[in-house]
Structure formats: C-alpha cells, structure tokens
C-alpha cells in the first residue's frame, strides 16, 4: 500500500522534468488532503519519501471481489459478478504514457489473479446443488472474459453432466461466437469433443486422461509436487539474409545463451523463418508468470539487426532495439545489456507479493536478498520457509537460506541472527542446493561462500569459477564471483572477472563498489580500495572495516581514526541487538576477516583491530 514519491512522479508525469513532476505530485497530495478534510476521512498517509494508503480506512471493490472469490459459493460468485464492472481503472488510460504501460501490465495481472481465484473452486464439476456453484463461477469468469474458452468448457461439461444437451449445444455456439469476435479464432478440438461424449460420468476418464498426460509430459513431479513454472519466451528469427547474416546470428546466439544461463525462463526455439512463413501475431491467455516473444530480424537494406521483445498476453512491445553490426565492438556486451533488460522486465513484475507461484515468490526472495538489510533477510527467510513446506525439491530455497546466513556473517556480523544455528547449518544447506541442481549459478556461488566461511579456499575457488562460467552474461553474478575469488586468494582472476562485470552493467549498484574495494584490498591496491568504499552502499561493518584497513595499510592511520569517529553515531545502532558478540570481541574480529591469503588476512586484521576497539570499547578508545 505504499510507493516512493519519485516512482509516483515518474509514473504520472513522465514527460516532465523530475523537479516539476515532484511539484505536481505535491500539489495533487494537497488537493487530496483538502478532499479528506471535507469528508472527514484520512486515507492517504504521506511522508518525505513515500506515499501510502492507510489499509485501515482504504477499501476497494476489487478487494471485495477477491474476498468473495476466496469463499467461492454460488451466491459469492453472483455478488462478485455484480461488482465486476469492466477493466481495472477503465477511462484512466490517457493520464500518461508511463501510467498507461503500467496499467496494461496491472490489468493483466489482476485478470490472471481473479481468474485463478475463481478456478480454484471449479476444478471438479459438482452437481449436488444442481450445478449452481459451478454455473455461477463460470458465468462470473465469462463476465471477466467473454472469450475465455476454459470457462465455456466448464459450462458445456456441466450441462452435459446434468443431461441438458440443448443448453450445452447453445453454450458451444456462444463460445464460437465470442471467440470469433474477440480472438478471431475457433474453439479447439477438445471443446468440440465435449458435445460428442454424451453425458459424462462424474470423475470420468476425461479428468483421468488429463492427469495421465500431465504426469507423462513432466508437468507434475513424481513426488506429487507441481513443477516450477517459469516465464515463457518464444524465440523467432526472420529475414536473416546472407549480407550480415553471421553478425545477426552471432548476436542472436549470445542473447539466447545469456537468457538460458539465467535459468529463469522456459525458452522455446523456433526455426528460421522467412517473411512469408513468419507466424502470425496472436494474443495468448497467459499465466501469472508471463508469456513473451523475442523476435530477431536482419534488415537487408540497412544491414541493421532488429531485436524486438513483446508481451504475448497484452500485445505490448516492451522494447524494440535496432543495432548496427558495424558499430558493435563487443557483441557479448550488447547481448548482455539486452538479456538484462529482458530479465529485469520479466522477473520485476513477479516481485509483487500478489504473485503466488513458486518462481514468483523466489523472485520476491531474490529482491529482498539484494536489499542488504537484516530486516529484508528476515522477510526473505519467512518466504523461504513457506516455499520449503510445499516445494522441497526447489534447489534455490536452500541457496537462499544459505545466502541469508552468509550475508549475516559477512555484512551484519554483529546483528541478532535470523537463523538460530548460524554457520552450523550453512554448508549443509549449500550442499543440498548443489545436489538438487548443480547447474544453477546461484547455487554454485552460494556454495563458494559457504566454503569460504568454512575455511575451504580451494573448494570455494572452484565453486566460484563454476558460477562464473554458468552465467557469464549476468554482471551481478560476476561481481559476487569476483569478490569470492579475491577472498579465496585468486586475485588476478578476480580482477578480470570484476572488469568484465563492470563492462556489462548499464547501471552499477552501489553495493558492488564494496565488492570491488575488497578485490582491490586483496591486490594490495589500497588507494583504489579507499576510493571504492567511498562509492559503496553505506555503513556496513564489512565496508567500514575494509576502508579502515586500507587507510592503515597505506600509512594513513590518522584518517582511519577520523573515519571511525565520524561513524560513532552508528555504533549503538550496530551493537544494540548483538548480545552474543558484545562479550566476545575476539570472535567478531575473527569472523569479519574472510581473506584466505595469510598476508592479506594479516593486513586486514590491522584495520579489524581498530574497528574492534571502536565497537566494543567505545568511540573514545580510538
């Protein structure tokens, strides 16, 4: 129920300069406050950085619809149908181009959520109540989408089971008419066959056949768990002529390889098409995770390569990139930028907590893990616990849990721990992720960190090298790998990997400058390490200690002491939740030093000794 002010300004006044957009937002909020005073209701809660709707006073007909669908009785479906009056926020499409794009995606998400909520009660055709619940549920679905073939099937199957063949036939004709009108398509063979089967027996072979087909196709696991569905991307190439063909194919293969390495998509490869045999555009009834089309085309006249990414459920062109092969110096870098753009769009929309599929919840966890706060770690661990209860075979659950433990030891070593057993269970969790799926880069990377924390530098180095090879197009993966290699003692490869990662970033998150500072420290390049910590994400114990150690090692101990005194106001915040470490500064000093090379470790300890005194003896001690 909250959003940053900047995000709202960009969404509603995208064509204005940021300063003017923020001014417009402030004026709008003042008008809202005036309206609230007149009605005597406070709904909008605004602060310096955010705008929030008060969940205690804000109500929505959409919320009521979802609550009714959760109950799922016949009368609930009827009432939900009276509340459903068309598209979400109909009439507001022209406020702003950015808002229009957001609204398109949000409408599709809500539509998918509503349809899924209704179908939870329609998996079986119940006739004990004369079919009232099933009929009401299907009629509601057809109010949401008159051309929803699956809902028409529910009604046809119900009427056949009730012996009402005439109504079933009429429903099929309605299905035909609506699909032709809205989709320019005909009902598929399965829908037509429902009219030929006569009156099915409850729980008949149709359901059994669907179950058998699901198991044989791999759409359910043998242990009863559902498969982990991913966003779908169909790859289509057209007009790849001889003039420039190799450049086009090279870029295409780099992009597809990069998407594949993320292990975040179900990729479907099409043949090379010419313009005449190119598949015709068609909207699909997408699932929660999204369905996309990635088109490649080489323009014979200009010699340029066109890469277009489309949302198949809405028809929206997410982006259309035109590249001149003659100007490309590094095909892999160009491909990586496109891959990241696709990945951010496809997974970013799944980070909304309203998305409840397994992979969507993993995307929410991953977003929290990159937030680098103990509070986000706690939320991530709760989500991971929920996932483990229903999907114990999903390898990244255990990589995520290990990552929380690892980050607490590396970045928040003096905070209370979210996990009770701390390092004791870290290696077991990381190994379990590897056993379940050794081809996931995140699993290998987390195992590398677990090996670092378990004083196994050679094992760590091999794991980081594997992670780097598995996902070489992901700069975030490469930066984590680079820092891990530096801590393991392989400084040369760490620097090369970091350089590669920075060349792929379109925007470098501040936390990666802390990673780079540790790499520079391992290389004994203390001046660069100091500069990188100044660009870092903020005051973390690890970043503070690296800066102090680099200053000491470069002969600037006076500046190191000044640095600590500047951060004296943060000392209490850091220590207030750390009873385990307050009485054991030696344990803290050992755990904060992750460098495996003896010389580097000793140099880092010079700074750790100062930070130890600062944390445990008070700011006056330094």
pLDDT in tens, 128-179: 778 899 999 999 999 999 999 989 989 998 888 888 888 888 899 899 888 8
Kindly tell me the burial class for residue 463, based on how many C-beta atoms sit within 10 Å of its own C-beta (0-12, 13-18, 19 or more).
buried
E runs forming strands in 231-353: 232-238, 266-273, 291-298, 305-311, 317-323
Q: What's the gap between Cα 474 and its chain centre?
A: 14
Q: Which helix (H) or strand (E) holds 246?
A: helix 245-262
Q: How confident is the model at residue 238 (pLDDT cuts 50, 70, 90)?
A: low
Q: What is the pLDDT of residue 442?
A: 92
Q: How confident is the model at residue 570 (pLDDT cuts 50, 70, 90)?
A: low
pTM for this model (two decimals) = 0.58
In this structure, the chain runs to a length of: 622
Q: What is the pLDDT of residue 574?
A: 54
| Residue 410 reports pLDDT greater than 70 | no
Break the chain down into helix, strand, coil percent, rounded to 5.
60, 10, 30
Q: What is the pLDDT of residue 398?
A: 93
For tokens 């006739």, what's the residue?
127
Q: How confident is the model at residue 199 (pLDDT cuts 50, 70, 90)?
A: very low
Kindly tell me the burial class for residue 351, based on how many C-beta atoms sit within 10 Å of its own C-beta (0-12, 13-18, 19 or more).
middle
Q: What is the pLDDT of residue 324?
A: 86
Q: What is the dihedral of CA 394, 398, 400, 402, to 10 degrees?
A: -170
Rounded CA separation 351/218 (Å): 26
Candidate ranges 284-293, 314-323, 512-521; pick with highest mean pLDDT: 512-521
Rounded CA separation 136/81 (Å): 9
| Residue 279 reports pLDDT greater than 70 | no
Q: How confident is the model at residue 125 (pLDDT cuts 50, 70, 90)?
A: low
| Residue 196 reports pLDDT greater than 60 | yes
Rounded CA separation 447/462 (Å): 10
Joined tokens for residue 151: 């809902």
Q: How confident is the model at residue 524 (pLDDT cuts 50, 70, 90)?
A: very high
| Residue 217 reports pLDDT greater than 50 | no
* Mean pLDDT across 527-541: 81
Q: What is the pLDDT of residue 218?
A: 39
The pLDDT tens digits of the residues spanning 88-115 come to 888 888 888 888 888 888 888 888 888 8
Joined tokens for residue 284: 């699909």
| Residue 412 reports pLDDT greater than 80 | no
Q: What is the pLDDT of residue 274?
A: 47
What percent of the chain stands above pLDDT 70? Answer: 83
Candidate ranges 128-132, 235-239, 576-580; pick with highest mean pLDDT: 128-132
Q: Output the average pLDDT for the chain.
A: 81
Q: What is the pLDDT of residue 582?
A: 44
The pLDDT tens digits of the residues spanning 490-508 come to 999 999 999 999 988 878 8
Can you say whether residue 293 is alpha, beta or left, with left for phi > 0 and alpha for psi between -120 and 50 degrees? beta
Q: How confident is the model at residue 420 (pLDDT cuts 50, 70, 90)?
A: very low
* Mean pLDDT across 324-343: 86
| Residue 411 reports pLDDT greater than 80 | no
Q: What is the pLDDT of residue 577?
A: 40
Candidate ranges 72-76, 265-269, 330-334; pick with highest mean pLDDT: 72-76
Q: What is the pLDDT of residue 409?
A: 62
| Residue 221 reports pLDDT greater than 60 | no
Q: Which of 9-13, 120-124, 388-392, 431-435 has the lowest mean pLDDT?
A: 120-124
* Mean pLDDT across 16-24: 90
Rounded CA separation 272/278 (Å): 9
Q: How confident is the model at residue 226 (pLDDT cuts 50, 70, 90)?
A: low
**What domains lie within the chain, and their CATH numbers?**
2-53 (no CATH), 61-216 (1.25.40), 232-333 (3.40.50), 514-622 (no CATH)
């Amino acid at each position: 129920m909250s959003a940053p002010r900047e995000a709202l300004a960009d969404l509603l006044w995208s064509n204005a300069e940021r300063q003017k957009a923020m001014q417009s937002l402030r004026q709008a909020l003042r008008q809202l406050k005036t309206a609230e005073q007149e009605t005597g209701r406070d709904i909008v809660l605004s602060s310096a950085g955010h705008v929030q709707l008060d969940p205690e006073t804000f109500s929505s007909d959409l919320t009521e619809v979802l609550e009714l669908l959760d109950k799922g009785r016949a009368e609930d479906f009827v009432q939900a149908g009276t509340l459903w009056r068309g598209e979400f926020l109909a009439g507001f499409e022209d406020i702003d181009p950015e808002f229009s794009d957001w609204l398109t995606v949000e409408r599709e998400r809500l539509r998918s959520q509503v349809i899924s909520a209704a179908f939870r009660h329609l998996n079986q055709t119940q006739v004990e109540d004369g079919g009232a619940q099933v009929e009401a549920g299907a009629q509601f679905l057809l109010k949401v989408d008159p051309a929803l073939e699956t809902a028409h099937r529910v009604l046809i199957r119900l009427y056949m089971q009730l012996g009402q063949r005439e109504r079933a036939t009429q429903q099929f004709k309605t299905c035909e008419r609506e699909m032709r009108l809205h989709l320019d398509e005909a009902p598929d063979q399965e829908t037509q066959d429902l009219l030929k089967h006569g009156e099915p027996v409850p729980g008949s072979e149709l359901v059994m056949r669907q179950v058998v087909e699901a198991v044989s196709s791999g759409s359910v696991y043998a242990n009863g768990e559902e498969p982990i569905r991913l966003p779908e991307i169909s790859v289509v190439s057209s007009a790849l002529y001889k003039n420039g063909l190799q450049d086009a194919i090279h870029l295409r293969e780099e992009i597809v390889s990069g998407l594949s390495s993320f292990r975040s998509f179900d990729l479907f490869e099409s043949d090379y098409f010419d313009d005449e045999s190119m598949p015709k555009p068609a909207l699909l009834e997408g699932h929660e995770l999204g369905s996309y089309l990635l088109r490649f085309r080489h323009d014979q006249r200009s010699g340029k390569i066109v890469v277009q990414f489309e949302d198949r459920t809405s028809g929206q062109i997410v982006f259309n990139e035109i590249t001149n092969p003659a100007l490309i110096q590094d095909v892999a870098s160009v491909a990586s930028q496109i891959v990241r753009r696709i990945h951010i769009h496809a997974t970013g929309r799944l980070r909304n907590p309203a998305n409840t599929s397994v992979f969507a919840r993993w995307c929410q966890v991953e977003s929290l893990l990159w937030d680098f706060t103990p509070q986000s770690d706690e939320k991530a661990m709760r989500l991971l616990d929920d996932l483990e209860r229903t999907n114990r075979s999903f390898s990244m659950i255990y990589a995520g849990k290990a990552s929380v433990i690892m980050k607490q030891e590396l970045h928040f070593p003096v905070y209370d721990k979210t996990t009770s057993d701390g390092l004791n269970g870290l290696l077991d969790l990381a190994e379990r992720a590897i056993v379940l799926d050794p081809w996931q880069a995140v699993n290998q990377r987390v195992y590398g960190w677990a090996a670092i924390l378990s004083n196994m530098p050679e094992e760590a180095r091999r794991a980081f090298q594997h992670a780097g090879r598995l996902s070489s197009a992901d700069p975030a993966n490469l930066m984590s790998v680079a820092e891990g290699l530096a801590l393991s003692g392989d400084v040369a490869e760490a620097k090369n990997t970091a350089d590669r990662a920075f060349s792929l970033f379109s925007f470098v998150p501040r936390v990666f400058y802390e990673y780079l500072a540790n790499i520079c420290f391992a290389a004994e390049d203390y001046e660069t390490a100091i500069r990188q910590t100044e660009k870092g994400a903020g005051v973390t114990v690890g970043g503070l200690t690296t800066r102090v150690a680099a200053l000491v090692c470069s002969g600037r101990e006076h500046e190191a002491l000044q640095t600590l005194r500047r951060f004296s106001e943060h000392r209490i915040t850091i220590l207030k939740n750390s009873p385990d470490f307050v009485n054991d500064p030696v344990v803290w000093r050992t755990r904060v030093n992750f460098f495996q090379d003896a010389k580097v470790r000793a140099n880092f300890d010079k700074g750790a000794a100062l930070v130890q005194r600062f944390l445990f003896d008070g700011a006056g001690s330094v």
